[in-house]
Amino acid sequence: MRVDEATTEAVKDDVAPAPLRRRKAHIRETNEAHLLACAEAVFAERGLEGASTAMIAERAGLPKANLHYYFPTKLALYRRVLEDLFDDWHRAADTFETSDDPVEAISGYVRTKMELSRRRPLGSKVWASEIIHGAVHMQDILTERVKPWLETRVVVIDQWVARGLLAPIDAQTLLFMIWATTQHYADFDAQIRALKGKRALSQKAFDTATEEVVKLVIRACGAKSPS
């Protein structure tokens, strides 16, 4: 796509014809989205340092300089991937709010998290890799976004315990267990595949695993069945 007669647009006219502006905005939007998706894959496969901008650009079918036109530095691109990931995770986390019944709320959350591991395993890997290597590029997300969410959930779980709906468990430990176990199916899928001797879990096998995890977690909570 060439710029054509609009080259000096910014100088001559602050307001370009609407259709042209829309077209240009559209190009930026799709290119950025495509680069973000390709970056997520390469970062997941190779890590932040193992991934090169050349690899990401090649996967996106663009020259490397083009990538640097949309994202000034590799780190800026990486940050955007992490922010996108948090948004997705946060939407999933809202499932927790849907019910005041602990069994329903917790099993719903576990299912949503497993579904997220299934739907976006590469993203989960980028997130995990970043934390493993010290979370240096996402301290703000953790303290400003994840921490407040966690604290409200702990309060809710503590109340369930106080009302005798759950065994006297530590809420944070429970949430860590749910995160660790559900994300294990995304992050450690290479190990799971090697140990099961399979190429990948089928949708059916994944659904079965989901229900097994739900069963284990619900029993771990010592939830009184809602009789």
Partner DNA sequence: GTCTATAGACGGATAGAC
Partner DNA sequence: GTCTATCCGTCTATAGAC
Applying CB under 7 A, the residues found at the interface with DNA are: 1-3, 24-25, 27-28, 31, 51-55, 62-66, 68-69, 72-75
Q: Which does 93 bind (CB under 5 to 8 A by kind): a copy of itself, DNA, none?
A: none
Counting residues that bind a copy of itself (by CB under 8 A) gives 54
Dihedral over Cα of 46, 52, 54, 60: its sign:
positive
Q: Which does 66 bind (CB under 5 to 8 A by kind): DNA, a copy of itself, none?
A: DNA
Contact residue for a copy of itself among 37, 150, 156, 201 (CB under 8 A): 150
With respect to DNA, which residue has the nearer C-beta, 99 or 129?
129
With respect to a copy of itself, which residue has the nearer C-beta, 13 or 212?
212
Q: Does 54 bind a copy of itself (CB under 8 A)?
A: no
Dist CA 164 CA 45 (whole Å): 45
What is the torsion angle, in degrees rounded to the nearest 10, for the CA atoms of residue 20, residue 23, residue 26 and residue 31?
A: -110
Q: Which does 69 bind (CB under 5 to 8 A by kind): DNA, a copy of itself, none?
A: DNA
Q: Minimum CB separation from a copy of itself for residue 161, in Å?
A: 13
Query: How does 157-167 read in b/e, with b if 16+ C-beta sit within 10 Å?
Result: beebbeeebbe
Q: Which of 104, 119, 96 is nearest to 185 (CA)?
A: 119
Spatial contact of 156 and 104, defined as CB atoms under 8 Å apart: no
Q: Which of 141, 26, 20 is nearest to 78 (CA)?
A: 141
Dist CA 35 CA 71 (whole Å): 9
C-alpha distances out from residue 111 to 91, 178, 182, Å: 14, 10, 9
Task: Please report the DSSP string for 113-126 in residue order.
Answer: HHHHHHH-HHHHHH
* Subset of residues 30 to 49 that bind a copy of itself, contact rule: CB under 8 A: 44-49
Q: Which does 184 bind (CB under 5 to 8 A by kind): a copy of itself, DNA, none?
A: a copy of itself
Report the interface residues with a copy of itself, using CB under 8 A. Answer: 44-50, 125, 128-129, 131-135, 139, 142-143, 146-147, 150, 167, 169-170, 172-174, 176-177, 179-181, 183-185, 187-188, 190-192, 194-197, 209, 212-213, 215-217, 219-222
